[in-house]
Structure 1
Amino acid sequence: MTVLPTLLDPAAPEHAANRAAMLEKLDALHAEHAKAVAGGGAKYVARHRARGKLLARERIELLIDPDTPFLELSPLAGWGSDHTVGASLVTGIGVVEGVECVITANDPTVRGGASNPWTLKKALRANEIAHTNRLPCVSLVESGGADLPSQKEIFIPGGALFRDLTRLSAAGIPTVAVVFGNSTAGGAYIPGMSDHVIMVKERAKVFLGGPPLVKMATGEIADDEELGGADMHARTSGLADHYAQDEPDALRQARRVVARLNHRKAHPDPPLAEPPKYDAEELLGLVPTDLKAPFDPHEVIARLVDGSDFDAFKPRYGPSLTTGWARLHGYPVGILANAQGVLFSEESQKATQFIQLANQRDIPLVFLHNTTGYMVGSRYEQGGIIKHGAMMINAVSNSTVPHLSVLLGASYGAGHYGMCGRAYDPRFLFAWPSAKSAVMGPQQLAGVLSIVMRESAAARGTPYDEEGDAALRAMVEEQIEAESLPMFLSGRLYDDGVIDPRDTRTVLGLCLSAVHTAPVTGVRGGFGVFRM
């Protein structure tokens, strides 16, 4: 075995300072997660419970197998917007009767579970995960439909939700809808387009038009039960496949539906794996508070992979990018991890070859980000940094093995692209609270703007306003710093969640298990033209 050694000293002052800073960021993160869990607040939670109903996460807990984890996705959706953190929807991956499923659950304590623009983005991302990884999708439905003040941002793109359900079914990926309350107007198509539908007695309300709309449109006077009650749909319309007496009964029936799906993973689960040799707690102190200071990615890898066993690939060539092979929770992985931050031509060429090898071997890739981007300057431009960086991006773009990305520190510029950022469709992307991502660092971006404006003033022959320049630079730095922080980016669904560093191995293990539900197959010669 090639067990990684460690030079980390947990008692060192630097480690203690880094750890304290990380714990402070985690406290802030937990406070924001608590807002999502709180839903619409105590008043609306109490009202919901008074109606004898379970909360969204309580429904999920009854649905999934006992003592199994639920990997919640996009919990900070909508952060920094005018909408409630979490976007009135809970999404994630859980195990139901031994089957890994994507689960979505409306939170009716937030404006009746109505969908706002962030709800839509979050639901579409969950559908994408289900489709790409061939995971059955279980929808726990209770929503009044679109949040009407936001309808202009929801109506047109929102049709993709129903398109996704039909495409999942067409691809042989099961869809199950459990209706606990309202599923009206466009929302009626969720059960209408699902493979299996369960409705709760006297609670489910599924209709295209409710009593007021029907009266206005046709003059007919009808009540909720006649138009869309569970009993009517079970006896008359046939929309309900299963009729539940109450919420626990509905969730019990949902579990039985999943148990009868005959849904099989493309790859068997691996045997139990040896844990890392080193304590995950030590990950808290690895990332410096100043992201300009480098840290050794081997120390991170040693606390993630099975037995801390890692076979490096080209360790002496392009050393600011670490590449190599390992296993994580028993699954084979190729790892690309930034070390000193900057990517040079050598690192780009090394990454390109490594990605090709992973595709030849059908091995998923894990990208651990800490990069300020590709190197600039006349020497590097003349040396071909553009074409070499393009080779790496080409390889990432056309690779077909699953990609998992974790932003540890900086993830700036085209380096974010080359390391499989969100635009390059990683199967999953998570961030540590220490991560930052933007076109470039705040000081560099503000400095570039200052230089451009200074040169413009010189070209016009006008005096340059130094005080205005200083104020502008400060304002730009503050704005870019705020917009590069993980909670801001997570709120816009540029990642699948901000995670505690200590949970990284578990999160990656759950993701690897999920991606192996679908066939893991690399591309064979299907890359674009590599400029040499």
Structure 2
Amino acid sequence: MSDPRVENRMFWEEEERKLDELMYRAMWPGGEEAVQRLAKQGKQPVRQLIQKLIDPGTEFYELGVIAGFGMNYPDVEDVPCGGIVTGIGKIHGNWTMIIANDSRVKAGTYFPITLKKHMRAQAIAEQCGLNCVYIADSGGAYLPMQADVFPDDGHFGSMFYNMARMSAKGLKQITLSTGGNTAGGAYIVFMACQAVMIDKLAYSFLGGPPLVKAATGEVISAEDLGGARVHTQISGGADYFCKTQDEGIQIVREILSMEPPQKLHIHRYAEVPPRVPVETIYEILPAKIHQGINVRAFIQAIADDSHFIEYKKMYAPGRGDNIVTGKIRIKGIPVGVIAANGLGIIFVEAARKATEWIIRCCQEKIPLLFIQSSPSYMVGSESEHMGIGKYGADMVRAVSCAQVPKIQLVIGPDNGAANYGMCGRAYRPHFLFSTMRARTSVMSGRSAAEVLLSIEERKRAASGNPMTEGEKQAFRQKMIEKYDGEAHPFFCGARLLNDRVLKFREIRDWLAFAFEVSLLKPIGEPAFGNLRF
């Protein structure tokens, strides 16, 4: 007889192998040939520069790695990694947001997904109080899509708006220009608190030589128009002159060497490794996405000493325990947990318990971890009469108003209003991580298929052309494939509906990192609107 734990492990390891393959494609666009082209220009791959920028022996926590695949833009199907590398690393001991163009992807030009990723990184930096380093080498906006990247809020100009506002808050904006920065892209240099330019590699101008010639008749080289010497010695638009990328990296590190050390705004206890190995996650999470889970076993695999202080454990068994609440420590950091359990359907009792616990943690100024594997709130007349609408709304209100750091981790179904109550993207968690088991959509493929099929059947019957059984099955299957495909972590990750798809063995380390970064700013006082009791 087969062992389901072994089968689960084999399944998830194979799924994570597919993730590895996609991440490799994201990190090596163009392969070795593209690396050689960079070398001929005196440039290094951008991640190599980042490794030299961060403190030796420390990790770069890269975000949004699988962004940009399957976007199907005009003449461009994929934008590997969104054309830009973003993530957080330590510089002189301080966590710092790093945003770096990858010129191997369409010369570093900005597609809609590139903008979204750039500004998501800036949003994290502002929310967590991080300095920003920009490694700039971009051809500017992707001109065939100018209407989608230039004029609106959230488009190209918003990058510089964000730089200005973060600088006003005391968050340093440092730019190392390692290539061309043209038109609006020039502001990545000029809007920086301090900017470094590399001789014969870096150029920055509002209009390049072709535009200058067309507009004024002047013929001038890129170097004489806006090279490193021009802006560090004549215009004053940049501040530091260097001759190589390595020298530029060292200057950036020197600029940030005088920053005061960051402080964690919570008491951090000594770390105790889990007694239950994190590897057991591969065995305890079912390969079938909609099969119920034992979330307490999952929590034991990520918590210090596998210790979980559960709140209201005995409350309304079979209904109240579809949401599990309590406290753990992750690498010494105290964390309040709201976790979907079993099939994850949220009953009235579970919603009330979750709301109560969110508010308690906010009063105690303890950060929150939402472990999401819930397909929905309970529906039907019984639940409606018991107040699932109002108690679900209370849960959503509590999540919306929670002033403590919030992180969502998706390990299963993530559908409908349960996405709201469990702190989905719209509720601005500091970080949102998915796993290969995550499925995020308005409803499951099967549910969507039945709803849409009933509509299609009525339309066809009204027109005097009722559907055959074969047509019904084909329609149903088409809808299942569409909705389940759009719920897949690759689809969601490509569109930056999560900050990273984590392997199970990475979860504890990444959560510890994310909570540490999220706790660098003081936690404010709790304030909630009018709850419906």
Shorter-chain TM-score bucket reads: over 0.9
Mapped to 1, the partners of 2:218 and 2:452 lie a distance apart of 64
Q: Structure 1 counterpart of 2:252, which letter? A: A
**1:331 matches 2:333:** yes
Aligned-pair CA distance for 1:398 = 1.0
Match of 2:6 among 13, 16, 19: 16
Aligned-pair CA distance for 1:226 = 1.6
Q: Deviations over 1:131-186 (max 9, x none)?
A: 00010000011111112222221112211011000011011111100111111111
Mapped to 1, the partners of 2:287 and 2:178 lie a distance apart of 46
- Relative to structure 1, the CA distance from residue 43 to residue 359 in structure 2 (aligned partners, 3 Å threshold; closer, same or farther) is same
Match in the other structure for 1:8 = none
**1:142 matches 2:137:** yes
CA contact (8 A) 1:358 1:522 kept: no
Residue 225 of structure 2 aligns to a residue whose secondary structure is: helix
Q: Structure 2 counterpart of 1:43, which letter? A: E
Match in the other structure for 1:531 = 532
Match of 2:217 among 211, 216, 219: 219
Aligned-pair CA distance for 1:463 = 4.0
Match in the other structure for 2:63 = 73
Aligned-pair CA distance for 1:281 = 1.2
CA contact (8 A) 2:138 2:182 kept: yes
Structure 1 stretch displaced more, 56-65 or 255-264: 255-264
Match in the other structure for 2:291 = 293
Mapped to 2, the partners of 1:271 and 1:252 lie a distance apart of 35
Mapped to 2, the partners of 1:265 and 1:273 lie a distance apart of 18
Residue 86 of structure 1 aligns to a residue whose secondary structure is: helix
Match in the other structure for 1:499 = 502
Residue 35 of structure 2 aligns to a residue whose secondary structure is: helix
Task: Name structure 1 gaps, 5 residues minimum.
Answer: 1-10
CA contact (8 A) 1:32 1:85 kept: no
Match of 1:36 among 23, 26, 33: 26
Match in the other structure for 2:477 = 474
Q: Structure 1 counterpart of 2:160, which letter? A: F
- Relative to structure 1, the CA distance from residue 149 to residue 352 in structure 2 (aligned partners, 3 Å threshold; closer, same or farther) is same
Structure 1 stretch displaced more, 510-519 or 459-468: 459-468
Aligned-pair CA distance for 1:299 = 1.1
Match in the other structure for 1:48 = 38
Mapped to 1, the partners of 2:358 and 2:117 lie a distance apart of 30
Match of 1:405 among 408, 412, 419: 408
Residue 523 of structure 2 aligns to a residue whose secondary structure is: coil
- Relative to structure 1, the CA distance from residue 394 to residue 218 in structure 2 (aligned partners, 3 Å threshold; closer, same or farther) is same
CA contact (8 A) 1:39 1:88 kept: no
Q: Structure 2 counterpart of 1:405, which letter? A: Q
Q: Deviations over 1:101-156 (max 9, x none)?
A: 00011111112111111110000100000000010000011111112222221112
Mapped to 1, the partners of 2:199 and 2:337 lie a distance apart of 51
Q: Structure 2 counterpart of 1:396, which letter? A: V
Match of 1:356 among 355, 359, 363: 359
**1:96 matches 2:98:** no
Mapped to 2, the partners of 1:529 and 1:220 lie a distance apart of 65
Mapped to 2, the partners of 1:41 and 1:250 lie a distance apart of 25
Aligned-pair CA distance for 1:37 = 0.8
Aligned-pair CA distance for 1:459 = 6.8
- Relative to structure 1, the CA distance from residue 351 to residue 186 in structure 2 (aligned partners, 3 Å threshold; closer, same or farther) is same
Mapped to 2, the partners of 1:491 and 1:118 lie a distance apart of 9
Match of 1:378 among 378, 381, 385: 381
Aligned-pair CA distance for 1:272 = 4.0
Q: Structure 2 counterpart of 1:528, which letter? A: G
Aligned-pair CA distance for 1:291 = 2.1
Q: Structure 2 counterpart of 1:289, which letter? A: A
Residue 498 of structure 1 aligns to a residue whose secondary structure is: strand
Mapped to 2, the partners of 1:216 and 1:41 lie a distance apart of 37
Mapped to 1, the partners of 2:186 and 2:267 lie a distance apart of 37
Same amino acid, percent of matched pairs = 37
Aligned-pair CA distance for 1:199 = 1.0
Mapped to 1, the partners of 2:210 and 2:458 lie a distance apart of 65
Q: Structure 2 counterpart of 1:118, which letter? A: I
Q: Structure 1 counterpart of 2:116, which letter? A: K
- Superposed CA RMSD in Å reads 1.7
**1:366 matches 2:373:** no
CA contact (8 A) 1:312 1:324 kept: yes
Match in the other structure for 1:394 = 397
CA contact (8 A) 1:437 1:484 kept: yes
Aligned-pair CA distance for 1:517 = 1.4
Aligned-pair CA distance for 1:268 = 7.0
Aligned-pair CA distance for 1:84 = 2.3
Match of 1:169 among 154, 167, 170: 167
- Relative to structure 1, the CA distance from residue 443 to residue 373 in structure 2 (aligned partners, 3 Å threshold; closer, same or farther) is same
Q: Structure 2 counterpart of 1:151, which letter? A: Q
Mapped to 1, the partners of 2:486 and 2:416 lie a distance apart of 14
Mapped to 2, the partners of 1:145 and 1:256 lie a distance apart of 28
Query: Number of aligned pairs?
Result: 520
Aligned-pair CA distance for 1:450 = 2.2
Match in the other structure for 2:200 = 202
Structure 1 stretch displaced more, 217-226 or 444-453: 444-453
Mapped to 2, the partners of 1:209 and 1:363 lie a distance apart of 50
Structure 1 stretch displaced more, 254-263 or 510-519: 254-263
- Relative to structure 1, the CA distance from residue 225 to residue 247 in structure 2 (aligned partners, 3 Å threshold; closer, same or farther) is same
Mapped to 2, the partners of 1:185 and 1:461 lie a distance apart of 59
Q: Deviations over 1:43-70 (max 9, x none)?
A: 3222111222111100100000011111
Match of 2:158 among 157, 160, 170: 160
Task: Name structure 2 gaps, 5 residues minimum.
Answer: 72-76
Mapped to 2, the partners of 1:495 and 1:463 lie a distance apart of 41
Q: Structure 2 counterpart of 1:430, which letter? A: F
Mapped to 2, the partners of 1:149 and 1:348 lie a distance apart of 48
Mapped to 2, the partners of 1:32 and 1:462 lie a distance apart of 45
Match in the other structure for 1:450 = 453
Mapped to 2, the partners of 1:522 and 1:14 lie a distance apart of 47
Mapped to 2, the partners of 1:433 and 1:427 lie a distance apart of 21
CA contact (8 A) 1:269 1:513 kept: no
Match in the other structure for 1:4 = none
Mapped to 2, the partners of 1:531 and 1:385 lie a distance apart of 11
Match in the other structure for 2:74 = none
CA contact (8 A) 2:269 2:333 kept: no
- Relative to structure 1, the CA distance from residue 506 to residue 210 in structure 2 (aligned partners, 3 Å threshold; closer, same or farther) is same
Residue 198 of structure 1 aligns to a residue whose secondary structure is: strand
Aligned-pair CA distance for 1:345 = 0.2
Q: Structure 2 counterpart of 1:167, which letter? A: R
Q: Deviations over 1:262-316 (max 9, x none)?
A: 3633637835411111111111122212122111111111111111121101111
- Relative to structure 1, the CA distance from residue 12 to residue 514 in structure 2 (aligned partners, 3 Å threshold; closer, same or farther) is farther
TM-score by length of 2: 0.94
Aligned-pair CA distance for 1:468 = 1.8
